A and B are shown apart, each in its own frame.
Chain A
Amino acid sequence: MVPGIAYFLVFHYGAFIANAVAFKEYVPFDGLWASPWVGTENFSRMFGDPDFWHATWNTLFIAVLQLAFFFPAPLALALLLHSLTSDLLRRFTQSVIYLPHFLSWVVVVALFQQVLSDTGLLNTFLSDSGLHTVDIIGNPEAYKPLVVIEVIWKDAGWGTIIFLAALMQVDEQQYEAAAIDGAGPWRRFWHVTLPSIRPIIILLLIMRLGDILSVGFEQMLLQRQSVGPEVGEVLDTFVFWQGIVGGDTGYAAAAGLFKGVVGAVLVFTANRVAHRLGEQGVYK
């Protein structure tokens, strides 16, 4: 267990301390500790930087889209699967929809380009049928919906696991009782199914809120080029571009730290709200 603990101390707590670079003017030659302190200069520069606000805006916009469309997708899929009467069909569908989760973002992005680019599967089909083609890949206006659709394609199936398990624990007798009382399928869904899985929905929602500023770093980085930073930059890629490509280390670390702190505040708040509403939340 020593290597395990050492790993956490070095790569998590060590890196945590290295966040100090956000308050420094990093000089590669001097290294982290010898570089001069500059106080909150990096932060004040950041708040006056329009590029930073672009990235923040894009992040929030994509996060809201994800919350509205990606978050309910696994739940809807799980409800569909759960209602299938054929066991074989359900298991087969499950195996298929888990699969994309295991592909790397590189593969997923390449797949989407193959299907949706101007010479791709969809447009070739459309022009062969004499219809208008649609410009999706590389179109700034389509970028945000596109990245959300990609996430849904990749991970909605995988996300059903937890909902399916919750659905399986719903007491069969409650359904029967409701049916005897004359509740139709929709009323049973509304009064039995949904309340039973509400705690798990809230739990996942809180976790999602805490992570809301991470809208998918690898995915965004892979596609930022095709639409440019104006629409494609999110906070994570901003940190990457400024710090690792641009070498503006202290500045990028400040942006990263900002993102981390906001995320932490969001988790605390969401958890507190959950407690107020009488839910368990992530922690007590």
Chain B
Amino acid sequence: MEKPRFATKAAKGVAVLVVLGLVLIPFLVIISTSLASNREVVDNGGWVLWPSDPTLRAYRNILEGGIVTKALGVSVGLTVVGTLFSLACTTFLAYALARPGVFGGKPVLLLILFTFLFPPGMIPAFLLVKGMGMLDTYAALVAPVLINVFNLIVLRGFFQGIPEELYEAARLDGAGDWQILWRIVLPLSKAALAVVSLFYAVSYWNAWFHASIYMESDHWPLSQVLRTYVIGGSQIADTGLSEAGMVSAPQTTQMAVLVIATVPILLVYPFLQKYFTKGVLTGAIKS
């Protein structure tokens, strides 16, 4: 192919820079503002692009106890426990659906895919959770979203990609289904398991809507707290946080909560990023 002209190259370069800037600048502002001192924030009219004298005061105030610390605990617990349960249930079901002749595979798969096309609706789901007596229990935040069909299909596709010979060899050696799953399938599927875990963990970490309708406010996860105090504009000082001796300007505090809600994702993301394309594609193509 001929070499691209200089003008084309320059235009592409500018386009890429604009895209990168649009994504990165908001992050930079949030982090900087959370690190700035109150005076600087006020002087700057509410936000800071580069703090002249960074301080962790806002973070210390938040983490000294009170509503955010508690919500952080809830979110971490919910994410860990929820992800484990979801991952286990999804793996077993995906394995059963991937093996020929395990248990009426095809009809079950169709039943499941059907739910993907026709979700049941918000009100019936709410009545169901209420009817099962799960209001204000943490089960209400896990059970109704236990298995994600997309994740299930990704794992099933991955399990099906494992060569049949491996299964046969294992069976000849006298291994049962559990042993095959544990010794052969899972170790070979680390990439897919990593992606699916990330997807589950992110969705549990970010969940706020179910918490807002099912939970009392002192059992809220971080996202719902963030929603109430940052987007809803409620003064954090009006609530339990003032007990922690709030002195920071609300702006820096709000930004600090925002950063805390985002950091865990930013931390795991680079490690798992290389698996995305593979994982998403197996899922997308098979479905």
| Chain A interfacial positions (CB closer than 8 Å to B) | 1, 3-5, 7-8, 10-19, 21-22, 31-32, 77, 80, 83-85, 89, 93, 95-100, 102-107, 109-115, 119-121, 124, 153, 157, 161-162, 164-165, 175-176, 179, 185, 210, 217-218, 221-222, 225, 236, 239-240, 243-244, 249, 252-253, 256-257, 259-260, 263-264, 267
* A110 touching B258, Cβ below 8 Å: yes
- Min CB distance A121 to B, Å, is 5
Closest 5 CB pairs of A and B: A4-B93, A104-B206, A18-B124, A15-B120, A256-B121
B198 → chain A closest CB, angstroms: 8
Q: Given A7-B143, A119-B46, A161-B276, A260–B119 Cβ distance below 8 Å?
A: yes
Q: Is B63 an interface residue (CB 8 A)?
A: no
Given the known inter-chain contacts A222-B231, A267-B117, please indicate yes or no for A164 contacting B277, CB distance below 8 A.
yes
Contact of B23 among A12, A17, A96, A256 (CB under 8 A): A96
Query: B280, A236: Cβ atoms under 8 Å?
Result: no
* B16 and A1 contact, CB distance less than 8 A: no
> Which A residues are in CB contact (< 8 Å) with B266?
99
Interface residues on B, range: 35 or more
Q: Which of B97, B122, B126, B261 contacts A104 (CB 8 A)?
A: B261
Residue numbers in B under 8 Å from A239 (CB-CB): 121-123
Kindly state the separation between the CA atoms of A28 and B161 in the bound complex, as whole angstroms: 49
A153 partner residues in chain B, CB cutoff 8 A: 22-23
- The CA-CA distance from A113 to B144 in the complex, in Å, is 31
**B89 near A249 (CB under 8 angstroms)?**
no
Report yes or no: A110 in contact with B12, Cβ–Cβ below 8 A: no
CB of B23 within 8 A of CB of A264, answer no
Bound complex: CA of A236 vs CA of B125, how far in Å? 14
Residues of B within 8 A of A225 (CB): 232
Contact B226 A107 (CB under 8 A): yes
Are A89 and B120 closer than 8 Å at their CB atoms? no
Minimal Cβ-Cβ distance residue in B for A119? B46
Q: Is B30 within 8 A of A162, CB to CB? A: no
The distance from the CB of B26 to the nearest CB of chain A, in whole angstroms, is 5
Report whether B122 and A110 are in contact in the complex, using a CB–CB cutoff of 8 Å. no
Query: Chain B contacts of A179 at CB under 8 A?
Result: 1-2
Q: Is B262 an interface residue (CB 8 A)?
A: yes
In this assembly, does B56 line the interface, its C-beta being within 8 Å of a C-beta of chain A? Answer: no
* Distance in angstroms between the alpha carbons of A112 and B258 in the assembled complex: 12
Q: Which residues in A have their C-beta under 8 angstroms from that of B223?
A: 104, 106-107
Instruction: Return A35 CB to nearest CB of chain B, in Å.
Output: 10
With both beta carbons as reference points, the residue of chain B lying nearest to A123 in the complex is identified as B45
Q: Residue among A22, A106, A109, A114 with the most chain B CB within 10 A?
A: A106
B277 touches A11 (CB 8 A): no
Asked if B247 lies at the interface with its beta carbon under 8 angstroms from chain A, I say no
Cβ-based interface call for B108 (8 A): yes
Contact A124-B120, Cβ < 8 Å, known A7-B146, A96-B24, A153-B22: no
Interface centre among A1, A100, A162, A210 (most CB of B within 10 A): A1
Quick one: CB contact mask for B245-287 with A, threshold 8 Å, 1 for yes?
A: 0000000001100100110011001100100110011001000
